[in-house]
Structure 1
């Protein structure tokens, strides 16, 4: 009942408002609403008759109350419309995220247990971020055949022709990227394909075959074995995906010193089709793919790696200058293209997680992004076609990554009074070193070989060092197991304490102890880092910027970098 004992009728607007769930009581004062809670309709009297008032159209003392009610109703409608817009936007956003998540494909992170452990957090609780980026040469779709040729290769398993490790420092203030040329021969561990269940034995082969030996997870496990660096995630992309992403980013400036046309010649069939005039050109879409695939015109795979680095560093500058990392609105187009173009490891198999990863780069200045190629030398087995690791220079790179040391020198220097970081402790739940070395059987293997001749008798020498520490059952094993760094391997949790005891006795760092499915007991592998002497060399943290010259570094702020064109491909 309203004032004066009559019933007020709610107008159609109020009824519709209530259907949307709005509560009129939030906007009206006591005494201005009906007993039923419905609002009075402007211009109507109790009972629905014409509005009443004094002569001359002026209203009496109720005018202020009616004006106030109109304001409340206006506020109600504005609030209602805003609520509808917000709910609609949120609903659309949710559906869009679901749509993007539906685009994503994912698979297992690793193809085998490499034994490389996740790095310990720094004092601020931060850890580095490592992502393996893989470019596939798959021809399994019409789009990929159209872009890459090779119609006869549709049924062949894909090869990982582009492999780059993106490392973002624990403090997120610098980043580096390391490429491994596709024709590099390396040790590939045993791998299992998560999709088919097929198992592949370990081998020594060209690194781009890893994608066909268990998928991206096998490529990741091979990198962990090669570098000793724990890799958090992988992402793969094919030809069509590169074009989608390049279109979403837009034009990226690249430079060649001479006119270039990467086309078939009498000496070399094939070619990417890239045709540019000397100077700087913005490339996108298919032309960006041609730039990234060009090999012959840039002389070799090493030249192609450098061209890829120039494109990526230029793209990073472009994204930073256009403020793409400021928030999700700028990343929408990239998200749409990226989720269609990428396959990712399961841990980052959602749009939110991918967006969070992208935001890890927003605070990295362009002058603190460095791109390099792993140093290599011609493969003695096939010097004209394949490469092998330049062990000494490559180990310098891996050491920088493992110690999270910047590839550049633009960071703030550490305070001279700051103490050096202590060795990484064992995980809190790791078993303590064994107290009874006399009962621990240790097999010592010579791992000093690989790309250089092994040190004869080295396993026996180190077995003697262990015997002096009370390990009476330590014995040299005739099997050689080339390894860059000295490691203590164990097969199961029950032997971890024994393995840590061996490491402690020889003064090895805690991260030298690794679980491995390739051994049946505690195995000490004397690596290439300990070829002589009775004491394990103390680890010296490398200096910032100590990248070997052979890595051919490209710095993110270098806008003058330009590719030389091999003479037969100039026009």
Structure 2
């Protein structure tokens, strides 16, 4: 591979790393970049290549306007919605639930991005969605995916794409951010992704006992009294996790810190996966990337509002690898009497969203450093 072709491929990769979370999005962009490079000459320097001085006896040839790179008109700010979905396809009539809801906001200029989670039980106003026969209501955020996925007359085949559409609208109205693109990844797709990358190295910041898995990876039996049997335990410290372990660790919320600790662990896992992709140099191994994509199959849904994945990848190509800032938004339980209704963000969390929209996120985080999530 020549230096000229290696450079744009590296840009595809950096763009996707910035686009983040789901590495399959990263893989898809690299593959798209490779296919594009087969049919389109690699772009030259921004100023354009030097041209020889025309001779006095020959007229200067007409020069065609340079073709702008993909996504050249994307200057930011940009917002991406990343969703982890519990499909439980083996359970008849089960509707997909949004088990993890993450938003990445890229600042104007595309040099810094902020990744934050919204609680799955956040109480929000979900708008009416006639396509699924949903009249609208105020309930938990996770249900937006479920209600939107309903296909009238076909309970056996819910639509994840529809569910994402209603969830995207709900998140956009709550945060005040326009969602430009996003991805939905199933549990099984996440397992395959991590395994295809050879596992992930992660600092576990607290002891976590799994309610779902045994130490050998098998599911724990569930009875009327709850889960029983030996538990998989993730001890505090540096750990190497395979696919099911990474997903299982990031799922646990019945731990110290509850769902907010789970959100932190999910964000830390995303950053660890980004580091994994950079360390392995996948941009220099397109055959390996294509293998990852084939492994994932149909376990991801990508939506870009009419934009190609390549457009976003190339536009974000100049973002430094350390330009991703993790943010934890604190919240509290809400309800009437002793009945739990869901979660709400504390005033500092809602204020962060307002400052983010106004382009003042970095200044706000300097004044509220506890919102930054550390590895």
Structure-2 separation of matches of 1:242 and 1:382: 39
1:421-467 per-residue CA deviation (whole Å, 9 max, x = no partner) reads xxxxxxxxxxxxxxxxxxxxxxxxxxxxxxxxxxxxxxxxxxxxxxx
Offset of 1:345 from its aligned partner?
2.1
Offset of 1:240 from its aligned partner?
0.8
Say if 2:352 and 2:364, in contact at 8 Å, map to a contact too: no
1:394 aligns with 2:349: yes
Offset of 1:347 from its aligned partner?
3.3
Greater radius of gyration (CA): 1
SS at structure 2 position matched to 1:210: helix
Say if 1:182 and 1:207, in contact at 8 Å, map to a contact too: yes
Say if 1:191 and 1:199, in contact at 8 Å, map to a contact too: yes
**Corresponding position of 1:173:** 111
Alignment match of 1:131 (pick from 57, 72, 80) = 80
1:380 aligns with 2:348: no
Alignment match of 1:236 (pick from 160, 184, 187) = 184
**Corresponding position of 2:209:** 261
**Corresponding position of 2:372:** 553
1:33-76 per-residue CA deviation (whole Å, 9 max, x = no partner) reads xxxxxxxxxxxxxxxxxxxxxxxxxxxxxxxxxxxxxxxxxxxx
**Corresponding position of 1:485:** none
Structure-1 separation of matches of 2:344 and 2:206: 31
**Corresponding position of 2:239:** 281
SS at structure 1 position matched to 2:336: coil
1:201 aligns with 2:141: no
Say if 1:325 and 1:362, in contact at 8 Å, map to a contact too: no
Residues 369, 125 of structure 1: alpha-carbon distance in 2 compared, 3 angstrom cutoff? closer
Offset of 1:126 from its aligned partner?
1.4
CA RMSD, 1 decimal: 3.5
Q: Which has the higher contact order (CA 8 A, sep 6+)?
A: 2
Structure-1 separation of matches of 2:310 and 2:164: 21
Matches within 5 A, 1:491-510: none
Structure 1 length-normalised TM: 0.44
Structure-2 separation of matches of 1:334 and 1:170: 31
Residues 257, 347 of structure 1: alpha-carbon distance in 2 compared, 3 angstrom cutoff? closer
Offset of 1:546 from its aligned partner?
4.4
Say if 2:87 and 2:186, in contact at 8 Å, map to a contact too: yes
Unaligned 5+ segments in structure 1 are 1-91, 97-123, 142-152, 408-542, 556-560, 562-571
Residues 182, 273 of structure 1: alpha-carbon distance in 2 compared, 3 angstrom cutoff? farther
**Corresponding position of 2:323:** 368
Offset of 1:544 from its aligned partner?
5.7
Say if 1:167 and 1:175, in contact at 8 Å, map to a contact too: yes
1:175-227 per-residue CA deviation (whole Å, 9 max, x = no partner) reads 111101111111111123xxxx3332221101100012211111011111101
Offset of 1:339 from its aligned partner?
5.2
1:157 aligns with 2:100: no
Structure-2 separation of matches of 1:303 and 1:290: 14
Structure 2 length-normalised TM: 0.65
